[in-house]
Amino acid sequence: MLKTLIKKARCYRKFDESVFIDIEFLKDIVDSLRFTSSARNAQPLKYIISTNKEMNKKIFSTLKWAGYLKDWDGPSAGQRPTAYIIILRDRNISTEDFSLIDTGIAIQTVMLRLAEEGFGGCTIAAIDKERLRKILSITDDTKEILCVLAIGKPNENIILTEMKNGDIKYYRDEKENHYVPKRPLNEILYKVID
Ligand SMILES: Cc1cc2nc3c(=O)[nH]c(=O)nc-3n(C[C@H](O)[C@H](O)[C@H](O)COP(=O)(O)O)c2cc1C
């Protein structure tokens, strides 16, 4: 059921780094992004994919993980992502805000494809973009880095909970279970017109 897959498609920040990801799988995921909706059908998004160990190490060094977990610096060696999809906006095609909506559609599509195959990812927008541009040799100013999807075989237990007292911050318990509070249906369902 798609709803089950949506619940499984969490933001994972710890992975089993011994599990290899086939570059052909990433290519096929990007191929499926060609068929997602796009404002004006402009299709301004472009993608860089990496499963290369040396490159992954460099990409990782530009990412900021889990702002709410103040005493955690991100995944340690052995738990790091084994693949990345970097989403770029081609400003020659569009600079409209609508292209950020296209980006959300692309992100969720990737997350669902990963979840379906037993993989997982985390969207990272807190990036040292200038350094990442250099690392990826992006010299063309019209190619703008929007976000990075860090990908791997999930290796953490994530529990969805109902938000209490307006607190939306994710947190971990002493066993490293990761809890993600979600707003209740009656809060987000603003109006029902029957
Ligand atoms: C647009 C966007 C940007 C995000 N940026 C970061 C980030 O920079 N670092 C990070 O650790 N998580 C980032 N996240 C992951 C969110 O923290 C995560 O989605 C949220 O805690 C809810 O967890 P869930 O995805 O499992 O529902 C981002 C998510 C989105 C959608």
Predicted TM-score (pTM) above 0.75 = yes
Contact 84 CB / ligand 1 (< 6 Å): no
Atom of ligand 1 nearest to the CA of 126: 8
**Residue whose CB lies within 8 A of the most ligand 1 atoms, among 15, 124, 171, 183, for a mutation test:** 124
Question: What pLDDT was estimated at residue 11?
Answer: 98
The pLDDT tens digits for 144-178 are 999 999 999 999 999 999 999 999 999 999 999 99
Which are the contacts of 26, defined by CB distance < 8 A and separation ≥ 6?
A: 49, 51, 83, 85, 151
Best CA proximity match to 23, nearest among 58, 47, 3, 7: 47
Which are the contacts of 75, defined by CB distance < 8 A and separation ≥ 6?
A: 13, 14, 15, 65, 81
Structure tokens at 38: 């796009």
Question: What pLDDT was estimated at residue 145?
Answer: 98
Contact 126 CB / ligand 1 (< 6 Å): yes
How far apart (Å, rounded) are the C-alpha atoms in residues 80 and 70? 18
Question: What pLDDT was estimated at residue 156?
Answer: 98
* Tokens 């709803």 sit on residue: 3
The pLDDT tens digits for 38-48 are 999 999 999 99
Question: What pLDDT was estimated at residue 97?
Answer: 96
Question: What pLDDT was estimated at residue 25?
Answer: 98
**Residue whose CB lies within 8 A of the most ligand 1 atoms, among 6, 10, 11, for a mutation test:** 11
Domains of the chain, each with CATH number or no CATH: 2-156 (3.40.109.10), 161-194 (2.20.180)
